[in-house]
Structure 1
Amino acid sequence: MQQPPQTLVFGLNYPPETTGISPYTGGMAEGLSRSGHRVRAVTAHPHYPDWKIAPGYGRWSHREHLRGVDVERLLHFVPADPSALPRAASEASFGARQMLTRWGRPTAIVAVSPALISSAFVRLRSLITHRKTPFVVWVQDLYGVGMTEMGRGGGVSARVICSIERWLLRSASMVVVIHDRFADRINVDFEVPLTRIAVIRNWTHLPPLPAIDVAAVRESYGWAADETVIVHTGNMGGKQGLHHIVDAGRLAHRRGERVRFVLVGKGSQRDSLKERIAQEPTTTEMLPPLDDAAFGAILQAADALLVNELPGVAEMSVPSKLTSYFASGRPVLAATDALGITAQEVRNADAGIVVAAGDPEAILEGARALAADPEEGARLGENGKRYRETVLNETFAIERFDSLLAELTGVAAAVKTPG
């Protein structure tokens, strides 16, 4: 009797973290388990986006069984300041822990990047002890492109990172990417054949959103009925460039415009944003992370949902928040590079408008434009929901990943009956 496939997943971020790539790593592992795989995930203790290990975690190693997945958590160095060098040291410490843990005899190995450096450590170990086991790199962000777009692409460290990224992707049995633009870049920049690149889109990890009393939710946050409320959720890091949103709120305050910007979440830039808000009056405010119910409600109660990126950020990543935004039925205001991936995704979905990145005036004008035409906003929001249900479909993504692993290993899973 054929044994079920045993899939070993390596990733820095995993539930209960709720932002970034964690929901996708966890969702894919759980989905493969439901499809008949025996899945083991080797991950870190929850620490993102606070860059602080969550209460109740932090032992040298810890094992638990979550939603059908055997999860092993390894303690690693978590920097208080996640700048380039401390972050690289953090990934290296995690990679060393992953290399030294027991791997067993998996039929396939999946490494999630980021983290690039720890994924490279895992690949090195696999070449020594599991050379014949198919090795898949699941690319959520492009490191080399990101360093260039963030203005750190000219130094020795950037060249080292690009060399690691090239080696890792070229050595993999298969590279899975989350967007066609990533596939093109990896093919051209790293000369990975398109036959070894698969596109599997991320999906909306929120359950279907229940109907809410919009007026009651808005009142609970102190939002007036005649205000235009623009909500941004998720990580408050460097590439989000949220200081421009504080400045857009400042501009709205000076002009007496009824436009409120709400930043929901946390991250490495939260404290500096809080200080910027306190410097002089602005209509921009901050809220802490919300549980799933409150998160879904605030998305639906907003007039529009904001994606904001630094000028020049165009190809390094696809904002994971878009999948949740599309599920809400609200239009998207994307302040980003007009030719970048984020702008392309919003236009492909026909789910919002795109304005110039780093321009508070353009951001405020975009908010006014959406508020001035509620019928158009409703149309854009419905288009986002349709795009979520068709293109960004979780069932399709997991089935595609399952089929890909079966092709690589020659071992097909016996599909389990849900429940």
Structure 2
Amino acid sequence: MELTLKLVSILLSGGILYVGYVARKVSGTWLTPACIWCVGWFFLTFIPLLVAFSVPVNPLAILYILVMSVVFSIPVFGTKWKNIKVATHAEDSSPFDSALLRVSFYIFACVSAVALTVHLSIQGVTLSALSTNFFETSSALIVDRYTESTVENIFAQISNISTYVTVGLGGLVFPGYRTLLGKLRILSLAMAPSLALMTIAGAKGTIFLCIAIFYGGYLVRRLRAGDNRLIDIATISRASLGFAVLLPFVTISFMSRGLYEDAAMVELSSSLYRNFVSYSSAHIYAFSDWFSWYIGFDSHVFYASDEMTGGFFTFMSLFKALGSTKVVPPGYYDEYFQYSWFLQTNIYTIFRGLITDFSLAGSVVFMYLAGFASNLIFVSLMRNGRASWSVAFYVVFCGFVYTSFLISILVWSSMYPTFGIIGVLLLVNNERFARRANRQSTPAVATS
């Protein structure tokens, strides 16, 4: 019975990818928000269903995600794509290759690195401590983060915002560098702060969010070059190389969670296996268990019953800015889903928050409206070769898709200034580019 349910769930996961494929056939491009969402959630369901194959899952939870993907994609089918002409840029005259954006990238990269250094220094981290007692120092930072004992300071927020702006700009300017050295420099500077934060403070989510935002900028350049592919062989090979580079740092991050104290190789290997499986796959099984409880089926965990929260778990940072005093645990949810010895998490995906906020039917309505707005903004991005705010939205949207396996990206206040800063920089850059183009196209007036 469990095998049948698992196979049905895998089939439904494949249905999410099929929805994205149909959306691509209708729109002519894989770069629509609907396609990105469907491809993203195909991987976010399919990989966990295979990696933790022995763990039972409720197919109705996967069906719900499939329905949400269909609803999000509906606006694609109501758009007259044949009437939309994509505004492309000549390879040698892209406004993204301007001095303003490149200099801004380097400035924000420096600000991010300096602010992160100051933040860590305020927490008591020193080069001496990292070099002599790395795992103890890192473990203490992780404990402080999860117990909310971190010393609050403005440099942490400056570092976060600057890091996200840096990777967003990095994705936009990256293709303009023709040499391997130039590309490696951009990639290294863009990822260095989040890589350091993951290694030292165990914040793995930041590096992967940065990769998603960076790739969002890169996809904008693809669109402007007339390339409608979401991924290709070159992207897969580079991603494989990048994963090989990241793997040791991720392992160190897991080791800092107390695993360095495991002396026996067997115990260490088991602990690392548990962490890798839980981080990559547990979200689907946790959501499945919560969803089963929500619709009245049997569940492994008894969950707290919340009244409809009206958007709090989707727009938490806005609610707090407006004065909400609702207490939220460090991991957003107190309940930990656990199966056997190798799967444990309190990550329940964006969908638990949406359902808690708006009810089951309300979450479907919300998803349709989000899909409608995203598709409308993407159409504007396609048509306008000098788009600014729609580009900024698209870059942040790619981060939204990644974080949806955790929770809504809008629970973090840093996303709003990230969107605003990238949008303003692009607006100023496009105005400068337009004025320069007008001067070059205006013929000189003869004087006597």
Same fold at TM > 0.5:
no
In terms of fraction of residues, the more helix-rich structure is 2
RCO comparison, higher one (Cα < 8 Å, 6+): 2
TM-score range, shorter chain: under 0.3
